[in-house]
């Protein structure tokens, strides 16, 4: 568990320096629940670069709540944040109903096509019956819309 991420230093650093700090730190430490708590408190005040770095650190955890946070950013205005979030979610081995709802929402009305093809694979990996139902409803609705447009 991590207890030594320097949150103040992270906020002070800009651009490449912030990225290098996070990369170096994450090679030697495990991202813990303290970082998740910090992220939940501070994410709304991050600039896009800090948000991207913080999401990349969250992606290194195994906490479902961290992935729930990441899923919130699949439609973010900043393209790099969107792509990072979509890629992380696309590569999860199983998708719970909270994340699946974000996946379906993103697929139903994406702001762009960055990572969308990969994100579709998430529909094939529901973690439970609720997630499977969400995916099936989306696929059924999508299929009906495509056949009625022909």
For the chain, 150 residues long, give each residue's pLDDT as a single digit of tens: 445 899 999 999 998 999 999 999 999 888 989 999 999 999 999 999 999 999 999 999 989 999 999 999 999 999 999 999 999 999 999 999 999 999 999 999 989 999 999 999 999 999 999 999 999 999 997 655 544 444
What's residue 141's pLDDT?
Answer: 78
**DSSP readout, the chain?**
------HHHHHH--HHHHHHHHHHHHHHS---HHHHHHHHHHGGG--HHHHHHHHHHHTTS--HHHHHHHHTTTT-SSHHHHHHHHHHHHT-S-B-HHHHHHHHHHHHS-SS-TTHHHHHGGGG-BSSHHHHHHHHHHHHHHHHHHHHT-
User: Are 57 and 26 a contacting pair, CB within 8 Å?
Assistant: yes
Backbone angles phi, psi at 137, to 5 degrees: -60, -45
CA–CA dist 103, 105 (Å, integer): 5
What's residue 22's pLDDT?
Answer: 94
What's residue 146's pLDDT?
Answer: 47
Instruction: Give me the residue spans of the domains in the chain.
Output: 1-62, 67-150
């Amino acid at each position: 568990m991590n207890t030594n991420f320097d949150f103040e230093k992270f906020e002070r650093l800009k651009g490449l320096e912030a990225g290098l700090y996070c990369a170096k730190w994450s090679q030697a430490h495990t991202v813990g629940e303290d970082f998740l708590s910090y992220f939940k408190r501070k994410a709304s005040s991050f600039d896009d670069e800090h948000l991207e770095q913080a999401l990349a650190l969250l992606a290194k955890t195994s906490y479902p709540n961290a992935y729930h946070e990441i899923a919130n950013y699949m439609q973010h205005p900043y393209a790099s944040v969107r792509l990072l979030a979509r890629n992380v979610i696309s590569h999860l081995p199983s998708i719970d109903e909270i994340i699946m709802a974000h996946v379906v929402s993103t697929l139903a009305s994406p702001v762009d096509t960055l990572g969308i093809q990969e994100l579709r694979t998430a529909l094939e990996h529901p973690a439970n019956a609720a997630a499977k139902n969400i995916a099936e409803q989306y696929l059924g609705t999508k299929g009906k819309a495509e056949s009625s447009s022909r």
